[in-house]
Homo-oligomer: A and B are copies of this chain.
Amino acid sequence: MKVGIIGLGLIGGSMAIDLKRRGFADTILGVESDPLHAAAAEKIGLADEVVGFDECVEQSDIVVLAVPADAAVAMLGKVLDRFEAMGARDRIVIDTCSIKAALAVAVKYHPMRRCYVATHPMAGTEYSGPWAAMPGLFDGRACIIADAEESSEKAVRTVEKLYNTLNMRLIRMNSDSHDVHTAYVSHISHVSSFALALTVLDKERDEKHIFDLASGGFSSTVRLAKSNPDMWVPILTRNSDNVLRVIDTYIEKMQEFRDAIAACDSDKIRSLIDEANRIKKIIR
């Protein structure tokens, strides 16, 4: 099978590595708009060939959009237009974005809608670019397939095979539920980590102190603050309704802590921590 990957960064590059090594793809065609990233991807050997957008869409059995959400929304329609012009109903396009509803709305009435399978492989690191790509990134992680009933059954089966090759746990969900859940288990983690970095950078003007004193706890909590704005600005704006609701709840919880600490109310602080400790049973 010929797999075309648009965006040879952390996600696209890591897919390229394992889909080729594990035999799902005979050929990987790559598209990369950033010249430096394109040169690095060729040097690293992520794709068999780095080609233009049109050539990739025309020649690939499956097109993977592994680009930030804004770019994915813009490209998805173009890919489906191209499929239509080619009369190619058996072609498949998937995206890998952390938001699903904006994409679903964008192509809801496209005549080639059934060629599109909406997916979200929930894996990643705080690094980006072709040099961040790695084998095994997806192994054992969850992958959402959204609104599967809107896609052709054959396309869904092929995409399931692709993600099975990556050893992902497949979960079906509609795109609205997806966006609510990811706001809670992913987007708020990033916002809270950004806010933590800003708080510490704001007050600790002497960066040496942060470096000297940063405990393992701080490092893990602030890790996501290294994440790329190209990826995160569109996620936060396109999923703003859900993200705002979660931020409001988060600020309420933080305020509860603040009030309990200000009142030196040890019992209340203890009950909040006891409640938070319940996460132990869920996250190993």
Contacts and interface: CB of A to CB of B under 8 A. Distances in A.
Nearest to A181: B213
A247 B253 CA distance: 12
A283 B211 contact: yes
B192 A221 contact: yes
24 contacts: A124-B216, A141-B216, A171-B212, A181-B213, A182-B213, A184-B204, A185-B214, A193-B221, A195-B276, A198-B276, A199-B253, A200-B279, A221-B221, A221-B223, A222-B279, A226-B279, A226-B283, A229-B269, A232-B269, A236-B261, A243-B261, A247-B258, A247-B261, A251-B251
Interface in A188-219: 188-204, 207, 209-219
B261 A240 contact: yes
A227 interface: yes
A275 to B, nearest CB: 6
5 shortest A-B CB distances, which residue pairs? A229-B273, A197-B276, A189-B221, A194-B276, A197-B279
B192 A195 contact: yes
Interface-centre pick from A141, A199, A226, A281 (highest chain B CB count, 10 A): A199
Contact of A244 (B204, B236, B261): B261
A120 to B, nearest CB: 10
A39 interface: no
A283 B123 contact: no
Interface of A: 122-126, 141-142, 144, 169, 171, 181-182, 184-186, 188-204, 207, 209-227, 229, 232-234, 236-237, 240, 243-244, 246-251, 253-258, 261-262, 264, 266, 269-270, 272-283
Main secondary structure on A side of the interface with B: helix
Q: Count copies of this chain in the complex.
A: 2
